[in-house]
Amino acid sequence: MPFIPHTESDVAEMLAEIGVADIDALFDEIPADLVSDQLNSVPEGRSELEMLQFMAARAEQDQGYTCFLGAGSYDHHIPAAVWDLTARGEFMTAYTPYQAEASQGTLQLIYEYQSMMTALTAMDVSNASVYDGASGLAEAVLMAVRANKKNKSGRVLVAQTVHPNYIQTTQNIVHNQNVDLAMLPVSGDGVMAIAEMEAGDVPPVAVVIQQPNFFGRLEEVDALTDWAHSHGALVIAVVNPMTLAVLKPPGEWGEQGADIVCGDGQPFGVPMASGGPSFGFICSRKTLMRQLPGRVIGRTQDLESRVGYTLTLQAREQHIRRGKATSNICTNQGLLVTAGTIYMSLMGYQGIRETAVASHQKATQLRDALLQCSGVEALFPGPSFHEFALKLPVPAKTVIDAMIEDGILAGLNLADFPIPGVEGAEHGLLVAVTEKRTDAELRHYVQAFTRALAASTED
């Protein structure tokens, strides 16, 4: 069947039936200056064969490299069973579970997912995912603005240590909704500068804290959380879920814990896949549950004590009265959530903890070895999890390009993410290490790094 099956005569007949001259008349409420009659940036279509050849060639570019890239997407081991099960037809083709009687399997899976996410984050409730971590932060900001009834300023404090892509995405989504993202400087240690935090004349609605932050550093989350609450602000935590089996969960930060937690679930069974797709998550306190975007699945029993699952909380406005919706995201990354749920089920708390500990140990091992190289310094002092930033004596791009020849993706060039107040970032390299990296791969990295650095210094 063609993608658009209607013939010109079909279209003419339908327009005549409703009394409209042409299709453009159906969109006459759109202002003329917003209408475009050309799609200049959209390339010509390709045949199925050409598309498959293009995608195969693109996929081959990712093969054969040892990956030390991170910054939100990490090369963790994925047990074979995760995608063997996720790819089953009942999961692969499952749609939004509106009909509980026909969707018990999907509903139970989402319920189990929510239960595990709340256990990891030490929060009360979890939604059934958003698109990714960046859009999850934007939704969390809007959620905090709606929920903080005592403060209508719309001012949200965000540290420059939050992932720049997350900040940009959030800005794109919230800037037309009277939300002001006020940026906080980075301290010399690569964390939020608590000493420079001031509520100002306009108290903040919320404070965004990322742990670990973009540079891999660990923030002083207890002090930051208590400061925010003392100024009447809600705390939005952006977390890597893999760290939560080792680091203090956000629900236990400070005296009261964070109010909203968001992040990207990619570390849980989702391949890097050239940058996506992934799934975002949002958890919160029970008191904020009705501001959660997406849906919440509940578990109950019928009169015969049989367990059943259903859509307990879902804003119908998302589908019907969009202007009053908590979110206009009407779907989610359900298939990726399935993979994440199966991953967590197979690994268990102990397996996730062992993965996190091994990643940290290997990252520390590589970091210590690289700091022995001439001219290499830590961009920021202090502890990190499994990601760290180095300051090289040459532009990081030269080293990255050279190491590709050795089959190594050396890390992220921080010169591509200019952040005000961060000295040396133009020579900065952000390196991520996971449990997958072997001792031989770490030695190979150090050898290739040393050669690349020496060649670049000589030039």
> Alpha carbon of 288 to those of 114, 150, 291, 404: distances in Å?
16, 14, 6, 47
Contact 360, 354 (CB under 8 A): no
pLDDT tens, 230-240? 999 999 999 99
pLDDT tens, 408-421? 999 999 999 988 77
pLDDT tens, 348-371? 999 999 999 999 999 999 999 999
pLDDT tens, 132-150? 999 999 999 999 999 998 8
- Is 1's pLDDT higher than 50? no
All structural domains of the chain:
80-343 (3.40.640.10), 349-458 (3.90.1150.10)
Average of pLDDT values for 84-91?
Answer: 90
- What is the token pair recorded at 76? 């963790």
* 391, HSE (Cβ side, Cα atoms, 13 Å): 12
Average of pLDDT values for 31-42?
Answer: 81
pLDDT of residue 149: 85
Mean residue pLDDT across the chain: 90
> Alpha carbon of 208 to those of 129, 181, 185, 343, 420: distances in Å?
19, 10, 13, 28, 18
pLDDT of residue 40: 80
Helix (H) or strand (E) holding 390: strand 387-391
- Is 395's pLDDT higher than 80? yes
Scanning the structure block, which residue is given the tokens 């009407």?
Answer: 330
> 95-102 contacts: CB < 8 A, separation 24 or more?
96/331, 96/334, 97/297, 97/311, 98/311, 100/308, 100/309, 100/310, 100/311
pLDDT of residue 298: 92
Q: Which amino acid is at 16?
A: A
- Is 422's pLDDT higher than 60? yes
Bridge partners, residue 283, by sequence? 126, 261
Q: Measured between alpha carbons, how far is 73 from 76 in angstroms, rounded to an integer?
A: 9
pLDDT tens, 244-301? 999 999 999 999 999 999 999 999 999 998 888 999 999 999 999 988 887 889 999 9
Q: Which of 59-68, 177-186, 217-226, 376-385 is predicted with the least confidence, judged by mean pLDDT?
A: 59-68
pTM: 0.88
Give the chain's end-to-end CA distance (angstroms, integer).
Answer: 60
pLDDT of residue 2: 54
